[in-house]
Amino acid sequence: MMASVACIGECMVELRQAQGGQPAGQSSGQGGGLYSRGFGGDTLNTAVYLARLEVKVDYLTALGDDGLSDEMIAAWNAEGVGTRRVVRLAGKLPGLYMIQLDAKGERQFFHWRDSAAARQLMNLPETDELLNSLMSYDIVYLSAITLSIYDAGGRDRLFAAIKRARLLGTRFVFDTNFRARGWPDRDVAREVFAAAFAAADIVLTSTEDLLALYPGESNEQLMARIPTPELVFRLTEPVSLLRFPGGTSEVRAEPMTNPVVDTTAAGDSFAAAYIAARLAGSDPVEAAQAGHRLASLVICYPGAIIPGYAMPPKKRHRPAATRQATK
- Strand pairing class (230-234; 239-244): antiparallel
Residue by residue, DSSP assigns 66-116 as SHHHHHHHHHHHHHT-B-TTEEEETT----EEEEEE-TT--EEEEEE-TT-
Cβ atoms within 10 Å, residue 67: 8
**CA–CA distances in Å: residue 247 to residues 17, 80, 201, 207:** 46, 36, 16, 21
Cβ atoms within 10 Å, residue 103: 7
The three-state secondary structure class of 207 is helix
- Catalytic residue among 102, 187, 268, 283, which? 268
User: Would you give the DSSP letter of residue 82?
Assistant: B
Provide the CB-side half-sphere exposure for 267 (13 A, CA). Answer: 24
Distance of CA 32 to the CA centre of its chain: 30
- Our answer to whether residue 268 is catalytic in this structure is yes
Q: Which residues are catalytic?
A: 268
